[in-house]
Amino acid sequence: MAPSNQLEVPQKSRVTVVGSGNWGSVAAKLIAFNTLHINSFHDEVRMWVFEETLPSGENLSDVINRTNENVKYLPGIKLPKNVVADPDIEHAVRDANMLVFVTPHQFMEGICKRLVGKIREDAVAISLIKGMEVKREGPCMISSLISEILGISCCVLMGANIANEIAVEKFSEATVGYRENKEIAEKWVQLFNTPYFMVSAVQDVEGVELCGTLKNVVALAAGFVDGLEMGNNTKAAIMRIGLREMKALSKLLFPSVKDNTFFESCGVADLITTCLGGRNRRCADAFARNGGKRSFDELEAEMLQGQKLQGVSTAKEVYEVLSHRGWLELFPLFTTVHEICSGRLAPSAIVEYTEHSARLPLLESPVHLN
């Protein structure tokens, strides 16, 4: 006879959002809606807040908890009352078995190291962090960093996700990338999915994560085309070639990457959003209009009020990988973008051709890249 303690009540999952910027606050809003409605999650969602003192003298975390609003990073949007801001990171993660990482990527290594030994043994993670360093040997995936330092499974969530548009519940989509465990992926989908934020999962963590970084390089190319006023036709061609290079590079670096990932929100849709709006596109447009005579640093300072461009440094890092591996000629768009950013070529080089050949599709991709 089975003793009664074998009929365990499944424990409710507890979620903590590590980060409380613009996207982190929107993520907390999405999640908190679901934890209230779905029985398998504990209602309360902790949100770790990097504490700041507001001009009023109050702590940001206190104001969030009193007003249900992140007055600094997501003003005007009410967060569900079950979001609890917590300035103590160790306390915030202590009871959680689902950790959502959404901080600037350069802080992640430090945060992970600080959390070693401080999280539950059954914890799993997801990274919403777009952009990563690409080292000479290859990209330094944020999901791997989390997995390796904390010894836990880590999925990623990427997509065409302009935080402020999702905050006001405009229709949008996202993609969860997972490595092996489909059940965990489905749980993340359940946690994020709402009628206005449609999430689907693909078994391709690297493909999904690389999209979030490489798209910024393509957005620079799209910005050059806009600045040169080449029109929609040329811009679409550049975006398509960029998507092809994103796919080809991801597959060369990680043979498990799947073609269909690039049809998901993390691929083609995020690329479109980034190449239509987006900081990288905007600054590259200005760069081209100035004939490359004003540096990206200067334009960034002037146009972005302290926000940072990722495309320029990613383009440089990607160039180093391509050069190191002897792949420069296979990736004419990525290569040309860096050569323009670094001043070696004029912005017009992005669409230049001679009587005999186009610069961009210099070489057809070998069959195994298609």
Query: Binding residue for a second copy (CB under 8 A) from 125, 150, 160, 210?
Result: 160
Q: Is 230 exposed, middle or buried (0-12, 13-18, 19+ CB in 10 A)?
A: middle
Angle between helices 332-341 and 205-227 (to 10 degrees): 60
**Rule CB under 8 A: is residue 277 a binding residue for a second copy?**
yes
Phi–psi pair at 175, nearest 5 degrees? -125, 130
**Rule CB under 8 A: is residue 173 a binding residue for a second copy?**
yes
Q: Which C-beta is closer to a second copy: that of 123 or that of 252? A: 252
Q: Which C-beta is closer to a second copy: that of 129 or that of 351? A: 351
**Rule CB under 8 A: is residue 269 a binding residue for a second copy?**
yes
Q: Which C-beta is closer to a second copy: that of 96 or that of 340? A: 340
**Rule CB under 8 A: is residue 203 a binding residue for a second copy?**
no
Query: Binding residue for a second copy (CB under 8 A) from 172, 261, 310, 314?
Result: 172
Binding-residue total with a second copy (CB under 8 A):
52
**Rule CB under 8 A: is residue 244 a binding residue for a second copy?**
yes
CB 243 within 8 A of CB 267: yes
Q: How many angstroms separate the first and last alpha carbons of the chain? A: 59
Query: Binding residue for a second copy (CB under 8 A) from 56, 232, 305, 307?
Result: 232
**What is the H or E stretch that residue 84 is in?**
strand 83-86
Stretch that binds a second copy, among 4-12, 15-23, 94-102, 261-269 (CB under 8 A): 261-269
**Rule CB under 8 A: is residue 208 a binding residue for a second copy?**
no
Query: Is 39 within any annotated ligand binding site?
Result: no
**Rule CB under 8 A: is residue 259 a binding residue for a second copy?**
yes
Q: Taken in order 306, 49, 131, 274, is the CA torsion positive or negative?
A: negative
The b/e string for 343-368 (b: 16+ C-beta within 10 A; e otherwise) is: eebebbbbbeeeeeeebbeeeeeeee
CB 81 within 8 A of CB 3: no
**Rule CB under 8 A: is residue 268 a binding residue for a second copy?**
yes
- Out of 215, 235, 247, 251, which one is annotated catalytic? 215
Q: Which C-beta is closer to a second copy: that of 96 or that of 102? A: 102
CB 122 within 8 A of CB 138: no
Stretch that binds a second copy, among 10-18, 61-69, 108-116, 161-169 (CB under 8 A): 161-169
Return d(Cα 131, Cα 216) in angstroms, integer.
8
Q: Taken in order 300, 172, 143, 28, is the CA torsion positive or negative?
A: positive
The token pair that represents 296 in the structure block: 């990206």
**Rule CB under 8 A: is residue 23 a binding residue for a second copy?**
no
The token pair that represents 117 in the structure block: 């030994």
Return d(Cα 288, Cα 340) in angstroms, integer.
9
Q: Which C-beta is closer to a second copy: that of 145 or that of 212? A: 212
Q: Which C-beta is closer to a second copy: that of 198 or that of 346? A: 198
Stretch that binds a second copy, among 77-85, 210-218, 227-235, 308-316 (CB under 8 A): 227-235
Catalytic, 215? Answer: yes
The token pair that represents 142 in the structure block: 């944020």
Query: Is 22 within any annotated ligand binding site?
Result: yes
Phi–psi pair at 36, nearest 5 degrees? -70, -35
Query: Is 224 within any annotated ligand binding site?
Result: no
Q: Are strands 124-127 and 154-158 parallel, antiparallel or unpaired?
A: parallel
Return d(Cα 353, Cα 359) in angstroms, integer.
5
Stretch that binds a second copy, among 10-18, 77-85, 137-145, 260-268 (CB under 8 A): 260-268
Provide the binding-site residues for a second copy, judged by CB under 8 A: 160-162, 165-166, 170-173, 195-196, 198, 200, 230-241, 243-244, 247, 259-260, 262-265, 268-270, 272-273, 276-277, 351, 353-358, 360-361, 364, 370
> Active-site residue numbers?
215
Annotated binding-site positions for NAD(+): 19-24, 50, 107, 163, 279, 308, 310
